Structure 1
Amino acid sequence: MKTTIKKAGSHVGNEVTIGCWLANKRSSGKIAFLQLRDGTGFIQGVVVKNEVGEELFKKAKEITQESSLYIKGVIQEDDRAPSGYELTVTGIEVIQQAEDYPITPKEHGTEFLMDNRHLWIRSKKQHATLRIRHEIIQATYEFFDKEGFIKVDPPILTGNSAEGTTNLFHTKYFDEDAFLSQSGQLYMEAAAMAFNRVFSFGPTFRAEKSKTRRHLIEFWMIEPEMAFVEHEESLEIQEQYVSYVVQAVLKNCRQELKALERDTSKLEQISAPFPRITYDEAIDILKKEGQEVEWGEDFGAPHETIIAEKFDKPVFITHYPKDIKAFYMKPDPGREDVVLCADLIAPEGYGEIIGGSQRIDDLELLKDRYNEHNLSEEAYGWYLDLRKYGTVPHSGFGLGLERTVAWISGTEHVRETIPFPRLLNRLYP
C-alpha cells in the first residue's frame, strides 16, 4: 500500500511503501537508522541487518544524502519519535543516488545557504517554517470566508503609487510608465464599494534599500477592505483575525513548532482583545525609557521593540500624526493633527505586522489631501470617483505575511519565511 509520512498513523502495523528522500542517516553495528522525508513530514526508518539480510543492509548503508527512494516497511508506534511513529524497513528501491549533496549536517554560512536556497528548503527547520506559512495562509482564507469577505485580486502592474511615495519599481508598459504594486489597497477600496467586505492576498514590491531582518524587496500582503466599518470595528476585526491565525498554527503545527524549538506558551496567550495605546502614550513610554524621540517622528524597530516589551500580546499604536501617514487616512474628527489609524506591533521584537486606518470618505477633504501631497488627479481620478458615487465610511488594513510567519514561528530573519527571498543584493535563486 502506497502512503505518505503524514498518514503514517493510519497504517500502524501494516506494511506500506513511501516515496521519499534520505535526509540523513547513522548506523550502529548491525542497525542502520535512515532519516526519511517525503514533503509531508519526517520519519525514521530502522534497518536491522539480521531481519533484512546482508544485501539490503549494505544498500541501506550506501545510500547517500538526498537520494530518492521507494521505502517499504511496517509502521510502528514509537513515543520517542517526534511524529510518534517509525518505519521498520523491509525493502529499499533507489530511484536516484544523489552525489555530493552540498548542504551537509555541518554548519554552513548564511550566504552559502541562501545561494543554495532551492536545496535548503528541504531541511527540517526550513520545512517547518514554510509549513507554518501555509497554515497561516489556510487560516486566513478560512477566517475571511467565515466573516463574509470575498477575495478580489488587484493588479500587480499599476500606473500610480498607493502610498504616494517614490520607492517603486519602474517598468515600461508599452509606451507608458508603470510600476510594480506596493499595495493593492486603492483597488480594494473600489472592490469594497462593490462587494462590501473584500480581501486580497498577493505579492507587493518595495524598492527600499533596507538590509534589516524585517525587510524584503518582494513580500506578500493580506489586505482586507470593509465598507460601513469605522476605526474601532476595524481594530476588533484585526485582533480577531490575528488570534484566529495563531490558534490555527498552535492546533495544526505542533510538530513544526517543536522542530523550531518555539516557546508556544507565549503564543497561547494570544487572544483578542489586544491592548491599545495612542501615539502620544507611545512617545511617553519611549521618553521614560531614555529614548530621544520627538512628537511627529515615526518609530523605528528599536522603538517598536521597547513598546512591545511592555505587553504580553500584540499592541495597537493608534492615532499617529497626520503628516507621517498616507494621504488617504481619515483625520480624527476631534483632533485634526492625528489620523484614525493603527499599527499592530507583534511581541518579542518582531515589529509591525499590520498597518491600517479608516479611509477618508469626504470628496473635498480627499481633494485637499491630493493637493498637499502633489498627487496627479489624472492618475488618481478614478479613486476620487469612489467618493462621488455613494461614498460610505470604510476601513482597511494590510498584514505582512513574512513578518507574521517570523513572529509565530520564532524565526529570526524574514528571509527564511518565504521560499525564495528577494533581498537588496539577491535575485538568485
Structure 2
Amino acid sequence: MAEQTAPRVDVDDLGQYVGKPVQVWGWLFNSRSSGRIVFLLVRDGTGLVQAVVSQRDVEGRVWDQARRLTQESSLKVTGTVRADERAPGGFELLVQDLELVHLAVDYPITPKEHGVDFLLDHRHLWLRSRRQHAILRIRSTLVGAVREFFDREGFVLVDAPILTPAAVEGTTTLFRTDYFGTPAYLSQSGQLYMEAAAMAFGRAYCFGPTFRAEHSKTRRHLMEFWMVEPEMAWAGLDDICRLAEGLVSHVVGRVLERHRPELALLERDTAPLERVRPPFPRVTYDEAIEILRKNGAAVEWGADFGGDEETILSNAFDRPVFVTHYPAHIKAFYMKPAPDRPEVVLGADLLAPEGYGEIIGGGQRIDDLELLMRRIEEHHLPKEAYEWYLDLRRYGSVPHGGFGMGIERVLAWICGLPHVRETIPFPRTLYRLYP
C-alpha cells in the first residue's frame, strides 16, 4: 500500500473535510454492488458513511478486497469526502484505497429478523446495530445531562457503597452475599448514605448501580439498574418536587437538542416530549383514587398502584404528573407522616406520560429520632444495623428529603421503547445473567 498521508477523521467530522482526502477506520455495516461499483456502508462508532468503490478508479487489489469484505469486518478506508444529501449523514467517501484489518466470518446477526432471546444472547454484538447504537448514545447524553443539572444546582457528588449491612427498600428484595463471615447485601439504594452526606454538605447526590431481587418479569423491571439519588437538608415536599421537575425537564431538553436524528431512527414522536416543561401537575393519592374509579378501575383506598393504574393516571395528563401523600403503610419506613394526617406520608411519585409509569419516587424523611426508632421496630428491622442512621437524628437533625430517579425507565420513556431491557448495555432480568 502506498504511504498514507490523509488524516484519520471521525465520520461525525466529515463535513469539515469536503473535497479533501481522509482516512476512516471502522467496521463494515453493510455492502451492495452495482456492476462496476461497490457501496460500502462503514461505521466507526460516531456514525455511518457510504464509501463508494469504483472499479475504474482503484487498483485491482482494492477492487478485489472491496468485493470480498463481509459484515463487521474491520477496515481502514482512504477516500475523498463528497457532499451528497442522499447519503447517510449527508457525505460519502470516493475510495482510493482500503486496508482490511480483520475479515469477520459468519457474523451471527444478519439483516434478517431475529428473536429477542437470540439478540439478548448476542447482546455483545447487538450493541452494534443502529437501533441499539441510537438508544445508548441517548443514554450517554441523559447521564451527562443529569450530572450537568446537579452541578449547576450546587450538589456534591458523593459515592454510596454497593455492599451494605441492611435493607433500604424492604427485606424481600435483597441480594445477599457473604462478607468474610458476615451477611451483606447488594445496595437497593444509596439514599440512607445520601442523608448522611446532606447533613455534611447540604446538597448531595449519588449516581450508580442498584439491585432489586424482585421476581418480576414486567417490561419495567430489571434486577440491576442505575439510579441517581439527590438529598437536600432543610427541604420540604415542595422543594423536592420542584427539583424533580427541573431535572426531568433539563434531561428531556438536552436529548431533544442533541438527538433528533436518533429519535427519528427510533420512530419516536417527539411532540409529547416537547410538552415536558415545569410546572408539572400534582394530584394527591386521594384524588388519584377518584380518577382511577372514574376510569373504571376497581381500586380500594390503601392499595398500591400497579402498572395498569399508573397508565390510567398518566394518560389523564399531557406531561409527567406527581402523585403525593400516599398511605404510610405502603411506603418505606423512613417516610415522614403528614403533620395533619399521619396515615399518609409527605412523599411523591412522578409518573411519566404515555403509560411509562413511575420514574421518580421520593419525599421527606422522618427527622424525629423517637418516631424513626418506632418505625424500624414496626418493620422488624435490626436496630443495630441502623445505629449510624439514627445518629443523623441524634446530632443536628433537620427537615430533609430527596428522591431516586431510575435511568432505564426515563430512557425507555424518552425513546418510546416497549421494554427497559434495551436501555442498559447488558440487562440483568429474572432469567438472564449472560452475557
Contact 1:228 1:393 in 2 (8 A): yes
Query: Under a length normalisation based on structure 1, what TM-score does the superposition of the two structures give?
Result: 0.98
**What amino acid does structure 1 have at the position aligned with 2:273?**
L
- 1:361: which partner in 2? 367
Q: 1:327 aligns with which of 319, 333, 339?
A: 333
1:232 corresponds, among 238, 247, 256, to 238
Query: Residue 26 of structure 1: SS of its match in structure 2?
Result: strand
1:302-343 Cα deviation digits (max 9, x unpaired): 111111111111111111000100011111112111101111
SS in 2 for 1:102: coil
Superposition pairs of residues 313-324 of structure 1, within 5 angstroms: 313-324=319-330
**Distance in 2 (alpha carbons) for counterparts of 1:222 and 1:388:** 27
**Structure 2 segments unaligned to the other structure (5+ residues):** 1-6
CA distance in 1, matches of 2:143, 2:240: 20
Counterpart CA distance in 1 for 2:195 and 2:121 is 40
Correspondences of 1:373-392 after superposition (within 5 Å): 373-392=379-398
Residue 109 of structure 1, CA deviation? 0.5
Distance 2:37 2:274 in 1: 40
Equivalent-residue separation in structure 2 for 1:239 and 1:401 (angstroms): 15
- Mapped to 2, the partners of 1:82 and 1:368 lie a distance apart of 63
- Asked whether the 8 Å contact 1:330–1:358 carries over to 2, the reply is yes
Contiguous gaps of at least 5 residues in structure 1: none
Q: Please state if 1:299 is matched with 2:327.
A: no
Q: Over aligned residue pairs, what C-alpha RMSD do you find?
A: 1.1
CA deviation map 1:373-397 (0-9, x unaligned): 1222201111111011111111110
Deviations 1:341-366 (A, max 9, x none): 11111111111110011111111211
User: Aligned residues: percent identity?
Assistant: 61
Task: Report if the CA contact (8 A) 2:412-2:418 is conserved.
Answer: yes
3-state DSSP class of the match of 1:70? Answer: strand
1:78 Cα deviation (Å)?
2.2
Q: 1:416 aligns with which of 396, 407, 422?
A: 422
For 2:68, give the aligned amino acid.
Answer: E
- Which residue number in structure 2 is paired with residue 170 of structure 1? 176
Which residue identity does 1:7 align to in structure 2? D
TM-score, length-normalised on structure 2? 0.96
Range with bigger deviation, 361-370 or 55-64: 55-64
Check conservation: 1:82, 1:255, Cα contact below 8 A: no
CA contact (8 A) 2:77 2:97 kept: yes
Asked if structure 1 preserves the Cα contact closer than 8 Å seen for 2:346 and 2:364, the reply is yes
- Which position in structure 1 is the counterpart of 2:4? none
* 242, 248, 256: which one aligns with 2:248: 242
* Separation in 2, partners of 1:139, 1:13: 36
**AA of the residue aligned to 1:262:** R
Q: How much has 1:53 moved relative to structure 2?
A: 4.9
CA contact 1:305–1:351 (8 Å) conserved in 2: yes
Distance in 2 (CA, whole Å) between partners of 1:308 and 1:43 is: 41
Work out which of the residue numbers 89, 95, 106 in structure 2 matches 1:83.
89
Tell me, in whole angstroms, the C-alpha distance in 2 between the residues paired with 1:143 and 1:83: 30
Q: SS at 1:243's partner residue? A: helix
Q: Secondary structure at the match of 1:166?
A: helix
Letter in 1 for 2:222: L
CA displacement at 1:425 relative to structure 2: 0.8
State the 1:58 CA deviation.
2.9
Question: 1:164 touches 1:375 (CA, 8 Å); kept in 2?
Answer: no
CA distance in 2: counterparts of 1:407 and 1:332, whole angstroms: 31
Shift of 1:82: 4.3
Question: Runs of 4+ in structure 1 displaced over 4 angstroms?
Answer: none
